[in-house]
Amino acid sequence: MPYKIKEVADMVGVSIRTLHHYDQIGILKPDSVTAAGYRLYTDADLERLQQVLFFKELDFNLEEIKEILDNPDFDRKHALRAHRELLIEKKKRLSKIIKSVDKTIDSIEGGKDMNNKEMFEGFDMTEIEVAKEKYAEEAKQKYGDSEAYKESAKKTSKYTKADWDKINITNEKIYSKIVANMHKGIADKEVQNAVAELRQEITNSFYNCTIEIFRGLADLYVNDKRFTANIDKHKEGLAKFLNEAMKYYCDGATNVASGK
């Protein structure tokens, strides 16, 4: 079921203003917007929001978080395990601080002296910082090494709502062309022209979309159910058709480049 922005804000404990900001910078865009202008979020959107908040606990900035989450290699389960490790360290630290508070109260009430070490037990952040650094470095190496996604993060961080609206309109037009010609098959000239437009739009708006990256996106559209569901909103089976049409395009481009 879809959730309105106020429902999400109340459920998660973030402000509506924060969710508006996340939408504007593209780190968490609602699944849809009603004709009346209401943002509607899905369970998948909530899962992404959870990851945003977890990564903020690791002191990643929003640009870095968006880059990581948008990377097709992002592994949610792996990330959650790392987050859990960090939270356990925080839990240990809080337990020590609570014990220190209890000892301080006992000392005040019973006149028992506390040594300096006991007074500050639990405030040592070393173990937590080690956990943060470990996962931060791993995440950056795993998800942040791609020049394409670094370029994308740099570009999109400057986009306004108007920029995103323009990109969405362009994508809608491209998808509409493909849908209108699906019955002609993946090799149809109009289909292939639209596929070429899609690749160029990715290059213009996000990063240099090489043939290798474009072929990888084709697989992503059918291997990731979130992408499949989003694309199939335009027409049932579009994701599979687009996968095949993009690969046909890539094969043709590769043959041309090699002189075949």
The fold of the 160-258 domain, in CATH, is Globin-like (1.10.490)
Determine which of 150-159, 192-201, 211-220 has the lowest per-residue pLDDT on average: 150-159
User: Is the separation of the CB atoms in 8 and 41 below 8 Å?
Assistant: yes
52: tokens are 């945003």
Least confident residue range of 51-65, 100-114, 239-253: 100-114
User: What residue segments make up the domains of the chain, in order of their start?
Assistant: 3-71+145-149, 76-143, 160-258
Using only the alpha carbons of the chain, give its radius of gyration. Answer: 24
Determine which of 10-14, 28-32, 124-128, 145-149 has the lowest per-residue pLDDT on average.
124-128
C-alpha 226: how far from chain center: 12
Q: What is the mean pLDDT of the chain?
A: 80
**In contact, 83 and 139? CB cutoff 8 Å:** no
Which residues, 6 or more positions from 94, have their beta carbon under 8 angstroms from its beta carbon? 122
Indicate the class that CATH gives domain 3-71+145-149. mainly alpha
pLDDT of residue 120: 53
In whole angstroms, what is the distance from residue 258 CA to residue 256 CA?
5
Cα 151 from Cα 149, distance rounded (Å): 5
**What pLDDT band is residue 113 in, cutting at 50, 70 and 90?**
low
pLDDT at 20: 92
Task: Inform me whether the pLDDT recorded for 93 exceeds 60.
Answer: yes
